[in-house]
Every structure is written in structure tokens, then in C-alpha cells.
């Protein structure tokens, strides 16, 4: 018996009426049919780890699912949609849908991505694990009409096993995709609202086999760039300064030329973000100074998010992960100059570039607990964007996997 036939069975055929507040289940073949409350909708249990819900297309064009808050459904949850007669979690779903409205026993869904196969009504919905929730928002421009390049993109989206969702609003998308001369052009969007207008890095993909690596890299890139818990922010207790460096007339304790900050702090606040404009001449040298107002020591890490190739580079790490904190109580850390700060930074542009955009993100760990015993605790920090001629710093880096 197909799942569609089981859906068509009336409740009395599947299970007897349950008393108020109770629940009852019966087994039919390889399926368990379960009702939690007397008036709750019927759900199907394929096995202990697979729960299916029914999805219907309503006359007003909305998609509704027969599961709500009673079943633990929350806004933003992602579901894979399958035909009721051939459910298989290893098969490519007809569509992926996101929960937009949650009620006690039902929910409303919107399409996040889909194949060219028409959707049936009813369908069955299988929830995608939470760690696969879609963080990458993709906007596809189809102004040029159908093409082989866009068809290859659609096929990749339909079978993607990494988290992404289609966006109808270009301004809120992480990536914009369009077709030019048989190639796909990816444009980094301003979904975070922290990129200056007019500075949108672009790159081209010529072969269909390159689409998957680009989308996977974008998922990784934006997931880490966007992650900022609401608590334990460093912004109010940390000051970051960027200065041009000049060689001092005096030598340091190792008898090497010493670099000193020169001129004003090149960082400024713009709509809540630290911003800097740097000429990437591969000659001018720069360094950072991070000053802490915390009454406890800090371990500092810094990462650079390069929008030109969607990579994350390690900008600075503590000399010893389990060693002394980078910043002492109410102390300061110099990066690119000063004692233990390493070499100065020079900035350059890649071949064919006349501008690049990137983000720096500072992460820290506190070395204290409420009872005074030492331990490490992750505390996300602030990030800064560089919306002018600036690219990855020329230093030894490691791409984070």
C-alpha cells in the first residue's frame, strides 16, 4: 500500500478514538500511525528516526503541514518534500520548504528550493536535521532566459546536501547568480547590511563541475561570518585600532628595526561596523592594536573573510593555545608590530582586481568563571569590513575547513 493510500484512510480505519489528553498508536505494515491528542492530525512514523507529515496545497495557494508546535515545529525549520507514493530519504526531494507560520497542530510552509517536477497534493514532509538548516540565501536572476548554465545550477540546488535557500529578495541574498555568455556570475550580496554600496565582489564560474565547490564554500563562509550570539559581546570592552607603521630610529631588544604606529586610527564606525579604506599598494605597512577594558585576561584569535574567493584565513592566533593569555587584565595586544606582534601587514590585489572587500572577525576566550577557577570560554567578538582597495594580507595563512 502506498503512502498516499494510507493518507486517504479515514481516522476510524487507522485508530480508535482516544480519550481527552491521551494518545494511541497502531502499526500498519512497516508504518506506525500516531495521534497525540484526539483532535490532532495524523502523522506517520516510518521508523524511530523518520517521521513524515502531510503537506497540502490549499485553495489560496498556501502550503500547510499537519504538524505544529505540539510536535516541536518551529519557525525557520527546513523540510524536504517527497511524493507520497515513493518516499525515500536517499532520493532527491521534489522541493525544500521552510516553516513560516506555526500553530498548535499545523504550520505554513514556503518553498526554499525546488526541482522542475510538479508538486503533488498531498505530499509528505521530512524534517532536515537542524545542523543542516539553510544559512546561505541565494538569489537567481533569470533575465537572460533559460540556459544550460542555469539548468546546471538548478540541478545542483535540487540535489544539494548542504544548507541553502532561494531568496526572492535580491537585497537580502548572500549571493546573486546570473548568466553571462554561458558562464555563471556570482556576486557577493549585502545580506549583513555592512558592505558599502557599490562594492560587490564578482567572480565567474565557467564549468558546471565548479558550481558545487562555490556553493559549499559560500555556505561555510557565511555561516561563520554571520555567527554572533546575543550575549558576551566584546564590543563595549574592546577597542581596535589600525595604524600605518613607520620604522623607528631606535632598534628593539633584538637589535632589529622597530615599527611604530604613525598617524590617526584608520578604523571608523559606519552603521555599527568598524570600517577602513586601504590602498593596496603592496608597500605600505600596517599594524593593529587591541586594547581590553576587561578585568580578566583574554585569548585572542583573528580571522579574515575574503569576499573575492569566499575563503577564511587565520589572521592572528595566540603563540600557544594553552599558554599565557594574549591580553593581560586591562592590557593591550599589538599585531604586526611590537613585542611578539609578528611582522607588519602589507595589502595587495589579485590578478585582474582593482578592488576587494573583506571582513576581519575577532574571537576571544575569557580565563575566568563565576567561582574564580580558571577555564576557557568562547566569546565572539566584533568584526570590521574593508570596503575599499584591500585584499588578503600577505602572510602565512591557513584555510579553515
- Rounded to whole angstroms, the Cα distance separating 119 from 95 reads 8
- Rounded to whole angstroms, the Cα distance separating 113 from 148 reads 18
Residue for grid cell 541574498:
173
Nearest to 178 by CA among 204, 157, 159, 214: 204
Grid cell digits, residue 167: 531568496
List of residues 6+ apart from 200 with CB closer than 8 A: 187, 188, 189, 190, 357
> What are the start-end ranges of the E strands in 87-192?
95-102, 107-114, 123-127, 136-140, 164-166, 175-180, 183-188
Nearest to 287 by CA among 338, 326, 250, 332: 338
List of residues 6+ apart from 356 with CB closer than 8 A: 201, 280, 306, 307, 308, 349, 350, 386, 389, 390, 391, 392
- Rounded to whole angstroms, the Cα distance separating 217 from 270 reads 28
Strand partners for 332:
291
Nearest to 292 by CA among 341, 328, 238, 335: 238
Question: Which H or E element spans position 18?
Answer: none
- Rounded to whole angstroms, the Cα distance separating 33 from 48 reads 12
- Rounded to whole angstroms, the Cα distance separating 352 from 178 reads 20
Neighbour count for residue 305 (Cβ, 10 Å): 22
Q: Model-level pTM?
A: 0.57
Strand partners for 242:
288
Grid cell digits, residue 119: 508538486
Strand partners for 377:
366
Grid cell digits, residue 328: 593581560
pLDDT computed for residue 274 by the predictor: 75
Query: Crossing angle, helix 148-158 and helix 211-226, to 10 degrees?
Result: 60
Grid cell digits, residue 211: 558550481
With the CA atoms of 213, 219, 220 and 221 taken in that order, what torsion angle do they form, in degrees rounded to the nearest 10?
A: 100
- Rounded to whole angstroms, the Cα distance separating 262 from 343 reads 16
Give residue limits of the domains in the chain. Answer: 3-130, 136-226, 238-386
List of residues 6+ apart from 382 with CB closer than 8 A: 233, 234, 235, 238, 240, 274, 361, 362
Nearest to 356 by CA among 199, 209, 157: 199
Q: Quick check: helix, strand or coil at residue 279? A: coil
Q: Is domain 136-226 annotated with CATH 3.40.50?
A: yes
Grid cell digits, residue 314: 587565520
Confirm if 39 and 121 have CB atoms less than 8 A apart: no
Strand 175-180 and strand 136-140: the pairing is parallel
pLDDT computed for residue 48 by the predictor: 46
- pLDDT tens string, the chain, 401 residues long: the values are 334 344 344 333 333 333 333 333 444 444 444 444 444 445 555 554 567 888 988 888 889 998 887 777 877 788 888 887 766 666 778 888 888 888 878 899 988 776 666 677 788 888 876 555 556 888 899 888 888 889 999 888 888 877 788 888 887 788 889 998 888 988 888 765 555 555 566 777 777 788 888 898 888 888 777 765 544 456 678 888 989 998 876 766 666 678 889 989 988 877 666 778 777 788 888 989 999 998 888 888 888 888 878 888 887 877 765 667 888 889 998 888 877 777 888 887 777 766 677 777 776 665 543 333 333 223 233 333 333 333 333 222 222 22
Amino acid at each position: 500500500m502506498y503512502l498516499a493510500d494510507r493518507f486517504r484512510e479515514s481516522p476510524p480505519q487507522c485508530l480508535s478514538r482516544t480519550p481527552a489528553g491521551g494518545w494511541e498508536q497502531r502499526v500498519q505494515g512497516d508504518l506506525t500511525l500516531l495521534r497525540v491528542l484526539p483532535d490532532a492530525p495524523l502523522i506517520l512514523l516510518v521508523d524511530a528516526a523518520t517521521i513524515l507529515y502531510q503537506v497540502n496545497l490549499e485553495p489560496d495557494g498556501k502550503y500547510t503541514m499537519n504538524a505544529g508546535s505540539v510536535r516541536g515545529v518551529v519557525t525557520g525549520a527546513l523540510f524536504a518534500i517527497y511524493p507520497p507514493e515513493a518516499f525515500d530519504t536517499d532520493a532527491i526531494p521534489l522541493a525544500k520548504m521552510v516553516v513560516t507560520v506555526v500553530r498548535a497542530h499545523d504550520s505554513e510552509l514556503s518553498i526554499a528550493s525546488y526541482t522542475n517536477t510538479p508538486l503533488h497534493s498531498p505530499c509528505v514532509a521530512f524534517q532536515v536535521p537542524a545542523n543542516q538548516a539553510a544559512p546561505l540565501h541565494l538569489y537567481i536572476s533569470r533575465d537572460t532566459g533559460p540556459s544550460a548554465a542555469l539548468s546546471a545550477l538548478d540541478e545542483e540546488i535540487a540535489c544539494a546536501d548542504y544548507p541553502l535557500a532561494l531568496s526572492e529578495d535580491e537585497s537580502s541574498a548572500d549571493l546573486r547568480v546570473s548568466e553571462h555568455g554561458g558562464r555563471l556570475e556570482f556576486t557577493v550580496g549585502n545580506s549583513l547590511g555592512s558592505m558599502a554600496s557599490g562594492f560587490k565582489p564578482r567572480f565567474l564560474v565557467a564549468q558546471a563541475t565548479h558550481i558545487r565547490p562555490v556553493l559549499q564554500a559560500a555556505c561555510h563562509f557565511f555561516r561563520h561570518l554571520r555567527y554572533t550570539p546575543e550575549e558576551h559581546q566584546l564590543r563595549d570592552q574592546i577597542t581596535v585600532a589600525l595604524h600605518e607603521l613607520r620604522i623607528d630610529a631606535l632598534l628593539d631588544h633584538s637589535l632589529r628595526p622597530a615599527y611604530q604606529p604613525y598617524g590617526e586610527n584608520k578604523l571608523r564606525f559606519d552603521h555599527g561596523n568598524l570600517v577602513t579604506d586601504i590602498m593596496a599598494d603592496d608597500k605600505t605597512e600596517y599594524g593593529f592594536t587591541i586594547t581590553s577594558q576587561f578585568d580578566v585576561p583574554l585569548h585572542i584569535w583573528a580571522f579574515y573573510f575574503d569576499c573575492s574567493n569566499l575563503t577564511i584565513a587565520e589572521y592572528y592566533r595566540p603563540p600557544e593555545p594553552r599558554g599565557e593569555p594574549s591580553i593581560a587584565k586591562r592590557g593591550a595586544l599589538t599585531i604586526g608590530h611590537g613585542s611578539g606582534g609578528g611582522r607588519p601587514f602589507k595589502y595587495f590585489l589579485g590578478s585582474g582586481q582593482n578592488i576587494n572587500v573583506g571582513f576581519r572577525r575577532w574571537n576571544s576566550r575569557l580565563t575566568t568563571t563565576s567561582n574564580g577557577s580558571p577555564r576557557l570560554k568562547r566569546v565572539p567578538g566584533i568584526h570590521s569590513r574593508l570596503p575599499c582597495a584591500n585584499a588578503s594580507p600577505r602572510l602565512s595563512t591557513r584555510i579553515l575547513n
